[in-house]
Structure 1
Amino acid sequence: MGEAGPGVREREGCRPDALPLAELLDGGEPVVLRGLARDWGLVRAARGGMREAMDYLRGFYNGQPVPYSYGGPGIGGRPFYDADYTALNCEVRRSGLDEVLEAIAAHAGDAAPPTWYVASLLVDTRFPGLRAHNDLDLAAHGVHAPPSIWIGNRVVASCHYDALNNIACCAAGWRRFTLFPPEQIGNLYPGPLEPTPGGQAISIVDFDAPDLARYPRFRDALAAARTAVLEPGDALFIPSLWWHHVQGLEPFNVLVNYWWSSAPAYIPSPMQALYHALWTLRDRPEREKRAWRAIFDYYVFGPAERAGEHLPPQARNVLGPMDETLARQLRAMLIGKLNR
């Protein structure tokens, strides 16, 4: 990859019981939280090597099969697409965790090993009791964010964004993060919305060998990039909608992450609105699209109170503050209209 921009801002001395969540959210930029998870049992085990970390996980594993992505040595650790971008270059399998861990260990010394990747597995579904000594306890901060675990070898999670805020904790192995502000989307050349290797659109640029003749705007993305390398015990706050490219740097890597929304639970993901807009707006004449942009700016992207401020409260309806009752009414109305 070419030269990227500056490193990510760092904070030292953060502890799970004193997380500056409000400050992180208000700042709206990624922050490395050095040593946040240094006291976790899994992190301590990982300091003793790959086998100790694997044995620690086995001690909590409940034996239920785990889904994982598998790819041959030819994919280079990068779950991605086939040549025409209509299918993936890896397959989803299910087996016991022991089989996955033993396969990773057996090929740990290979120059080009196959890829094994247990991705976004809810911790409590397979590792009951693990959180007792391996958790940020975000519930104590008023945040509902059940942790997920990611287990694999030298896997590359291609550059993507998440609609939720994220704290990613490096528990075993080292990871390199390359991050981009949301406005860089056009310079990152997103792939299809479906299918995707992990649920969100990814950049189709190969960060290890970018083809700048084919993707020239990627130079501008790199100029805006921020990089961070995390060792076991470090964490990274990634604000919602920031693009991030994640590389596992060692033969065995484990990450635990926490996703949460800044919006109330009754407000759904804007991805549904994106799909609806692709259906209803994208292919209209340019004049109409400009007019609809002005309408959306007025009702949606401007100040929340603007569209209804000149009306008496009893007349505002959907133009007034959103609450759970109004959200249910909107949902019912939309379902009714879509089913006609």
Structure 2
Amino acid sequence: MSAVAASIRECEGCRPDALPLDELLATGQPVVLRGLVRDWDLVKQGRDSARAATDYLTGFYNCRPVQYSHGGPEVEGRPFYNDDFTALNCEVRRGGLDALLAEILSHLDDERPPTYYMASLPVDACLPGLRDGNDLDFAAHGVRAPSSIWIGNRTTASCHYDAPSNIACCCVGRRRFTLFPPDQVGNLYPGPLEPTPGGQAVSVVDFARPDFGRYPRFRQALAAGQAALLEPGDAIFIPSMWWHHVEGLDAFNVLVNYWWSSMPAHIPTPMHALYHALWTIRDRPEPEKRAWREVFEHYVFGPADGAGAHLPERARGVLDPIDEATARQLRAMLLDKLNR
């Protein structure tokens, strides 16, 4: 693994019932929350053994099928692409969580085990009751943040970003997090938007064996990167849009995370706008693209109240803050235009 320039800032003494959520969001920087979930029941079971942790999880399982990635030993724990980036190197399987856990346990001592990686399983949907002894108090901040669980063997989630803010809790096994600020997107060489190993575009650089001849700007990303090793019981705050590369370092790993957005539900993901802009703007002549950049700067990236400030309030329309009614009108208008 190539070394990055800095270590992620750490915070000691945080408690699940007293999250410093406002402070975390205000800084906009990643923070390791040492020992945040050390007293979770799942963490305690994992400290005992992998078997104890799997038995504990199975006790909450409601038998709903789960989806996970599976690959042979040659995948080396890295769900990724094939050589020409047209397909993934793992197959997606569906089955019982209890069977998946048993498969992982059966290969704990293998030098080159098959790859098993179950990503982002909603806890309440498949493991009802697990949160009773393993949860963070987002409700105290008026925030709805459902938890998801990630289970696998020695696997790597290639570097990617998520639009929501994220607190990831290391429950079983150690994990190494390597983070990059959003402005490093070009230096991380993102892969195809579709298909993707986990729903988001990922860096195509192999962090374990980076090819600097092919990806020279990756050196600049490393200079801007931050890293931390998390032990079971630690957690990390990953701000919205920060790129993160996550390595499971032990033969059995479990992580629980919480995503949440500061935006109301009627504001959709900007990914829709990205696809639309690729379609409508990217291939235009450079003078037109520069002009459209100025238009977007005025209406979108400038001050939220700037574009309509000189207009009477009743004349501002969509230049005012978007409420639910305006969101419905915009959606209907866009659907009508796109379907013509």
Does the pair score TM above 0.5?
Answer: yes
Q: Give the match for residue 112 of structure 1.
A: 112
Work out whether 1:310 is the aligned partner of 2:293: no
Offset at residue 70 of structure 1 (A): 0.2
Q: Amino acid of the residue matched to residue 273 of structure 2? A: A
Length-normalised TM-score, structure 1 = 0.99
Encode CA deviations 1:7-56: one digit per residue, 9 max, x unaligned.
10011111122111111111101001111111110001111011111111
Offset at residue 148 of structure 1 (A): 0.4
Tell me, in whole angstroms, the C-alpha distance in 1 between the residues paired with 2:97 and 2:121: 12
Q: Amino acid of the residue matched to residue 20 of structure 1? A: P
Q: Give the match for residue 75 of structure 2.
A: 75
Tell me, in whole angstroms, the C-alpha distance in 2 between the residues paired with 1:153 and 1:2: 22
Tell me, in whole angstroms, the C-alpha distance in 1 between the residues paired with 2:161 and 2:112: 28
Q: Give the match for residue 155 of structure 1.
A: 155
Query: 3-state SS of the aligned residue for 2:145?
Result: coil
Q: Give the match for residue 333 of structure 1.
A: 333
Q: Give the match for residue 185 of structure 2.
A: 185
Query: 3-state SS of the aligned residue for 1:47?
Result: helix
Tell me, in whole angstroms, the C-alpha distance in 1 between the residues paired with 2:77 and 2:3: 22
Encode CA deviations 1:270-317: one digit per residue, 9 max, x unaligned.
000000000000000000000000000000000011110000100000
Q: Amino acid of the residue matched to residue 321 of structure 1? A: P
The aligned runs of 1:78-97 (5 Å cut-off) are: 78-97=78-97
Tell me, in whole angstroms, the C-alpha distance in 2 between the residues paired with 1:71 and 1:92: 9
Q: Give the match for residue 289 of structure 1.
A: 289
Work out whether 1:31 is the aligned partner of 2:25: no
Offset at residue 65 of structure 1 (A): 1.8
Q: Give the match for residue 128 of structure 1.
A: 128
Query: 3-state SS of the aligned residue for 1:186?
Result: helix
The aligned runs of 1:247-286 (5 Å cut-off) are: 247-286=247-286
Tell me, in whole angstroms, the C-alpha distance in 1 between the residues paired with 2:8 and 2:87: 34
Q: Give the match for residue 56 of structure 2.
A: 56
Tell me, in whole angstroms, the C-alpha distance in 1 between the residues paired with 2:25 and 2:160: 20
Offset at residue 140 of structure 1 (A): 2.6
Q: Amino acid of the residue matched to residue 123 of structure 2? A: V
Length-normalised TM-score, structure 2 = 0.99
Encode CA deviations 1:173-198: one digit per residue, 9 max, x unaligned.
00000000000000000000000000
Tell me, in whole angstroms, the C-alpha distance in 2 between the residues paired with 1:143 and 1:170: 21
Q: Amino acid of the residue matched to residue 325 of structure 1? A: A
Q: Give the match for residue 18 of structure 1.
A: 18
Offset at residue 212 of structure 1 (A): 0.4
Tell me, in whole angstroms, the C-alpha distance in 2 between the residues paired with 1:135 and 1:175: 19
Query: 3-state SS of the aligned residue for 1:149?
Result: strand
Percent of pairs with identical residues: 70
Offset at residue 5 of structure 1 (A): 1.3
Q: Amino acid of the residue matched to residue 48 of structure 2? A: G
Tell me, in whole angstroms, the C-alpha distance in 2 between the residues paired with 1:98 and 1:311: 61
Tell me, in whole angstroms, the C-alpha distance in 2 between the residues paired with 1:200 and 1:33: 25
Q: Give the match for residue 215 of structure 2.
A: 215
Tell me, in whole angstroms, the C-alpha distance in 1 between the residues paired with 2:196 and 2:214: 21
Query: 3-state SS of the aligned residue for 1:314?
Result: helix
Q: Amino acid of the residue matched to residue 91 of structure 1? A: E
Equivalent residues, number: 340
Offset at residue 127 of structure 1 (A): 0.6
Tell me, in whole angstroms, the C-alpha distance in 2 between the residues paired with 1:333 and 1:219: 45
Kept in 1: contact 2:18–2:137 (CA 8 A)? no
Tell me, in whole angstroms, the C-alpha distance in 1 between the residues paired with 2:291 and 2:31: 39
Offset at residue 137 of structure 1 (A): 2.8
Encode CA deviations 1:256-278: one digit per residue, 9 max, x unaligned.
00001111111000000000000
Tell me, in whole angstroms, the C-alpha distance in 2 between the residues paired with 1:47 and 1:108: 16
Q: Give the match for residue 198 of structure 2.
A: 198
Tell me, in whole angstroms, the C-alpha distance in 2 between the residues paired with 1:100 and 1:35: 28
Offset at residue 97 of structure 1 (A): 1.4
Tell me, in whole angstroms, the C-alpha distance in 1 between the residues paired with 2:159 and 2:58: 30
Higher mean alpha-carbon deviation, 186-195 vs 106-115, is at 106-115
Tell me, in whole angstroms, the C-alpha distance in 2 between the residues paired with 1:4 and 1:270: 29
Encode CA deviations 1:113-159: one digit per residue, 9 max, x unaligned.
10011110000111111010011131232111110000000010000
Offset at residue 96 of structure 1 (A): 1.3
Tell me, in whole angstroms, the C-alpha distance in 2 between the residues paired with 1:248 and 1:129: 26
Tell me, in whole angstroms, the C-alpha distance in 1 between the residues paired with 2:270 and 2:252: 35
Tell me, in whole angstroms, the C-alpha distance in 2 between the residues paired with 1:330 and 1:123: 34
Q: Which runs of 5+ in 1 are unaligned?
A: none
